[in-house]
Structure 1
Amino acid sequence: MIIGCIYIPPQSTLEIFECHIATVSFIMDKYQNSNVMNSFDCEKQLYDGFASLNCTQQNHIQNAWNSILDLCFSDIASSPEHAVALVPKDKYHPAIDILLNFRPGLTPDNSSSYVFKKANYAALNTSLLRTNWIDLYKLETIDIHVRKPSNYPSWFSHDLIHKVKQKKSAHLIYKIRKTKPNYLRFSRLRLECKKLSIECYKSYVDKVEDKLQSEIKAFWNFIKDKNRCTGDIPSSVAWNDRSADTGPGISNLFAPFFHSIYAPSNSGDKGVATQRTHLDALTVTYDAVLKELLALDPSKGAGPDGLPNIFIKNCAVGLCEPLTHIFGESLHHGTFPTY
């Protein structure tokens, strides 16, 4: 944990605030597994800057004039409370205690995955169409066409990511050769990154707010991205009179929950006519498969094979031939593929 207590005088210039935000950003980049807490006596210019660092203001204790001069920004939850002053009481700055509760959450699966939204589907379809499916009915590797997931927050633009990489390179050069020109270049890039980061964050938040009614998924993606440092899996889950704090226990709680909200199917409905059909008598056509592939909802997640609908739909032209063959063989033999 990194704790800082800073006093910024009233009427300070914007450059002073930006310089401090850039310094905190540098520390958080250098010590990526640390938690940060900063206490201030300052104006509100810091709110936007710390918001871009996933830090929130958590002190709500007012002074004798019903105002809050001491701000406490942190990227972890805290509980500021009134405290007994160790020195003569200051009516402008009441004494506070800050309680931090550290409870590690369950570790999510951090295995690498592909970002299918950024895939080069034109190249993928070209590769699939060139495949001789008559001789070989299996997919080629897609590593060269699909990018690895980004380690940057979702509100980072391509320009900001490029600028951050330049800043890291400049910092590395400065560490090797500690000259004034190298430091000035690194300092300039650091300030540009911070300004651009604040702009990108504001723009991203505005877009998410505009899509709240039409695309709620964008909002939850935003929340998920802001909380990604702690993972998506809570440390404990409770339902009715039961609770669990382990991975298997939490998973088992979902079974009775889903069982309670889904009604059993009425298998004895006499209004439905039944007809015996032999599977090998059914046929699957290329056009029928293509129509169904193009009708897939791209917002749905992946199945057990790890391939989401967005990949299958965008590669429908290239995948239609092998899938038609697999579906036909499955019906002909009355079995499902093993993989």
Structure 2
Amino acid sequence: MGGIETNPGPHPLSDDNDDHNVSFESVSESNSIREMFSTSISFLHLNVQSLLPKLDLILAEYEDFDILSFSETWLNGNNSSDSVELLNYQKPFRKDRGPMKSGGGVIVYVKENIQSKRRDDLEVPGVEVIWIQLKLNNKNVLYGTFYVPPKSNNEIWTKIESSIESAVNDVKCDRIIVTGDFNDNLLNGANSKIHNICTNYSLEQLIGDPTHFTEQSSSLIDLIITDNSDFVPYCGVGPPLLDQIRYHCPVMGFINAQKPACLSFKRKIWLYKQGDFDEYRRILTKTNWDRIFSLNDVDKINSEISNRILDAAEISIPNRIVTIRKTDPAWLNNDLRKLIRKKNRLHSKAKRFNRSADWNKFKQIRNKVTTLIRQAREQYQNNLIQKLSNSSLSARTWWKTCNQISGIKPSHSGIPPLLKDDNLIFNDIDKANEFNNFFAMQTNIDDTEAVIPDLTVPDYTLSDITLKDSEVEDVLKILNPNKASGPDLISPILLKEAVSQLKFPLCKLFNLSLSKAIFPADWKKANVTPVFKSNNSNEVEHIFILEKD
């Protein structure tokens, strides 16, 4: 995000604060801002003035932030939480103005890899506020989001102060961050109610620039407040989300806490449509399979056959390595990301020099970004609709596509952080070990009181099973080429395109495995997916692990 400034420290309602309002443009032009997004916890608040129609823009513009909070969501009981979920964020914490009322409302999103829980004991009736407790670097952090309607009376402000006081006095928490739209202009701070609250409880307000703009005025009403400015080393005001006559700008900051590792991985993508399968088959035809079987070791032979198949594919089929990021919406491409970054740089420049030409350039590219984001989302939806007309779609793919079109999201996009001894496990290896320990424990059955039944020993044996090349050939021919590969990375396409070349070595391998009664170790591996039995998806016992087909 461009347009962020270094933390100006407390806002004392005087000209002395000007020395602290250092532009953050020099940081954003370097790699430092990217580094902070990758290493520190980031947060953002925006008075969004109707959340639902802007979800795609929000996901495209703000996907890098770990915590997103919005005021004036304008949601009510007609809007389910499923309809406002964001990819890679937990189910949102929300507080509507009322079941059927319009206007107002606040909502908070937290990334899936951050431990969070609602603290409704700090929320006061009659105040639009959400408090959540975050676990960051073994510290408990209270994060509050407020929306205070214009011209709120003293009773409302007394309740707001009571809510903040309860958070300040919570001995279980180490730090406090408060953000939101307070509709209390700190640029005219002589009678500021929020300033008095900050003074009473030794809190610091960190934003120094205007955040709300109309045709003829600007004001500072969207705030970031904390009990320790060192805990929020960088904060500032970002560019507006949309081109409007009256608008709010987002306020954002970085928390002095280490960010959990981003879940991404490398994957080799085979470009089968560009492959030379005649060359692929020629290479396999020349392979000396008898030499491989001279190893006389089932595991080694299986490994060598797999390597020969992949080596032949590497030579004859183009491929590339791509980075798979869990955080990527399907319709958001790199060109859009570059354009968003360019827009943010232009906003920084316009703020710095305040020239009409710079502001016009910023507005033009901002409008272009908005249009392209909506077009990309619409094109993605149209492609999904077109996909349904394919008569060869499997039932599973058809239903998955229908859910994508209708906006129905899967309950979970992966294995969530697992809860153990009141702490969350984020690391994939630690998760796997936790599952392994849990499932291994299920075999420890207390059978001390069990009665063992009498079993009749069978008088027949199955002494020999021998497969034929033709049987293996028949199975290879009916493989579904649309199925994914397993851990060995050999796709059904690679097997099906070389049936004549592979039926002999595979049949011989299967027969060797049967005769030696040895099941290759690689065949015991599988890619698995979680299936959730209940809403308690952070607990191991509420998750099935099934093999992907």
Q: Normalising TM by the smaller chain, what interval? A: 0.5 to 0.7
1:251 to 417, 436, 441: 436
Distance in 2, Cα, partners of 1:300 & 1:21 = 31
Match of 1:322 in 2: 502
Partner of 1:3: 44
Any idea what SS the aligned residue of 1:215 has? helix
1:24-66 Cα distance to aligned partner (Å, 9 max, x none) = 73243xxx3x313222124359999964555665224655997
2:160 aligned residue: none
Letter in 2 for 1:38: S
1:21–1:108 CA distance, 2 compared to 1 (3 A) = closer
Aligned to 1:79: 118
Please name the residue that 1:218 is paired with.
400
Please tell me whether the aligned partners of residues 72 and 106 of structure 2 are also in contact (alpha carbons under 8 angstroms): yes
> Which amino acid in the other structure matches residue 335 of structure 2?
Q
For 1:26, which of 61, 77, 84 is the aligned residue? 61
With over 3 angstroms needed to count, the CA separation of the structure-2 counterparts of 1:72 and 1:224, relative to structure 1, is closer
Name the SS for the 2:438 alignment partner. Answer: helix
- Bigger Rg over Cα: 2
Residue 375 (structure 2) aligns with: 196
Is 1:291 the counterpart of 2:474? The answer is yes
- Shift of the 7–232 alpha-carbon distance from structure 1 to 2, 3 Å rule, reads closer
Give ranges in structure 1 of 5+ residues lacking alignment.
Answer: 261-265
Give the counterpart letter for 1:218 in structure 2. Answer: K
C-alpha distance after superposition, 1:259-278 (max 9, x if no partner): 87xxxxx9x6766842433x
Does the 8 Å CA contact 2:48/2:72 hold for their aligned counterparts?
A: yes
Structure with higher strand content:
2
User: Corresponding residue for 2:337?
Assistant: 168
**Which of 255, 270, 275 matches 1:123?**
275
Aligned 8 A contact 1:41 1:69 in 2: yes
1-structure distance, mates of 2:100, 2:505: 77
Tell me which amino acid in the other structure corresponds to 1:305.
Answer: D
The residue correspondences of 1:206-285 to structure 2 (distance < 5 A) are 214-215=395-396, 218=400, 232-236=415-419, 246-247=430-431, 248-257=433-442, 273-277=460-464, 282=466, 284-285=468-469
**Cα displacement string for residues 232-278 of structure 1 (whole angstroms, at most 9, x for unaligned residues):** 2532369xxxx996442431211243787xxxxx9x6766842433x
Number of matched pairs: 293
For the residue of structure 1 that corresponds to 2:418, the secondary structure is coil
**In 1, Cα distance between equivalents of 2:123 and 2:439:** 46
SS at match of 2:415: coil
| Closer, same or farther: CA 251–207 of 1 in aligned 2, 3 Å | farther
Paired letter, 2:504: T
- 8 Å CA contact 1:78, 1:99 repeated in 2: yes
CA contact (8 A) 1:2 1:36 kept: yes
Question: Deviations along 1:310-337, whole A, 9 cap, x unmatched?
Answer: x225641315423422432664695677
2:471 aligned partner, one-letter code: A
Deviation sequence 1:44-102 (CA, Å, 0-9, x none): 599999645556652246559977731314144652626466xxx9x5xx253411333
**How many angstroms apart in 1 are the aligned matches of 2:462 and 2:100?**
81
1:40 — aligned with what? 71
Change (3 A) 1:185 1:68: closer
Percent identity of equivalent pairs: 10
Name the CA distance, whole Å, in 2 between partners of 1:269 and 1:199. 67
1:263 is aligned to: none
- Going from structure 1 to structure 2, the CA distance change for 1:299 and 1:195 (only over 3 Å counts) comes to same
Equivalent residue for 1:98, pick from 114, 131, 135: 131
- Verify the 8 A CA contact 1:42 1:70 in the aligned structure 2: yes
